[in-house]
Amino acid sequence: MSQLKIGISGCSGKMGKTLIKLISEHQECNISGGLEAENNPDLGKNLGKLINSDNINAIVTSDRKLFFETCDIIIDFSTPDSTVENLKFGKKFGKGLVIGTTGLSQEIEKKIEIAAKDIPIVYSANMSIGINILMELTKKLSSILNNEDFDVEILEMHHKHKVDAPSGTALALGKAVANGRNIDLFKHSEIVRDGINAKRKIGNIGFATLRGGSVTGEHSVLFVSDHEIIELKHKAENRSLFAAGALKAAIWLSKKSNGLYSMKDVLNLKI
C-alpha cells in the first residue's frame, strides 16, 4: 500500500515542526512538502533541517501550486490569510484539508463551509481528543443547567507568544455552550470587561484570557450558581497531542468524500 503524502502549511511554526517529526516516524505516511510565506527565512531548506533530521526528502516552499501538486492531503496550521488561499488551491487541485488554524473570522468559516462542497475538510479549533470530549460534555451540561440559575465563564491560558485572544478553542467551547442553550454565541458573549459598568448580563457567556510563559494550553468551563460551581477542565502538556489528532484526522479524511467534518466525526464521539 502506498504511503499517504501529507503537506504541512505553516511548516516552520511550532506546530509545523511537531507535525514534521510525528509524520516522519509514521509508517503509513510521508511528508511531501512544506508551505510558508514568501519572506520566511526557512524557504528552500529541507524540512528535516527544521527538526535536525536527515531522513526527510522535501523542501520548504512558498509556491502553492507546486506544494499542492505534490500532496494528497494538507494539514494547515498557518494564518487566516494563508488558510483562505489554501481553500482556493484545495478546490482547484481537489485536495482535502485538515484545518487547525486559529483566529478565523466568521467570514472565513463561511468560506470553509462553501469549499467543503467541493473537497473534504476537517476543521477544528483544537485537534486534541480530550478537548473534543470536553466540548461535547460542555454542550450536554449547558442543555441541562439553565442560564438563569447557572452563569458560564470560560477561562483559557496560553504562552506569551500567542497572537489571538480568546483562543480558538475557548470560542469553540463558547459555541458548545451556545448550542446547548440554543442561543447565538456572538450576541451573548462578554469577552472584555473593563471599568465600573462591567456587571454580567443574565444568560451571557463570559471569557477570560491569560497569557504567560510557555503554557501550551489550559481551558476551563465553569458553570456557576449561587450555591455551587461545576468545573470542566483540560490541560495540554505539550503540542504533540494536537499533532497526533491532526495526523489522525488526515488519515481519516483521506478515505472520505466531499464535506465539512469535525474532530467529533473523526473520533466518532457520541455523548
Crossing angle, helix 168-181 and helix 129-144, to 10 degrees? 30
Of residues 95, 158, 175, 234, which has the active-site annotation? Answer: 158
Of residues 5, 14, 91, 162, which has the active-site annotation? Answer: 162
Q: Is 158 a catalytic residue?
A: yes
Count of Cβ atoms closer than 10 Å to residue 2 Cβ: 7
Q: To the nearest 10°, the Cα dihedral for 65, 124, 161, 25?
A: -70
Q: Which residues pair with 97 in a beta bridge?
A: 74, 121
Distance CA 51, CA 64 (A): 22
Distances, alpha carbon 229 to alpha carbons 31, 84, 149, 175, 221, in Å: 46, 40, 11, 20, 10
Residues with Cβ within 8 Å of residue 177, at least 6 apart in sequence = 138, 139, 142, 152, 154, 185, 205, 221
Half-sphere exposure of 31 (CA within 13 A, CB side): 29
Q: Which residues are identified as catalytic?
A: 158, 162
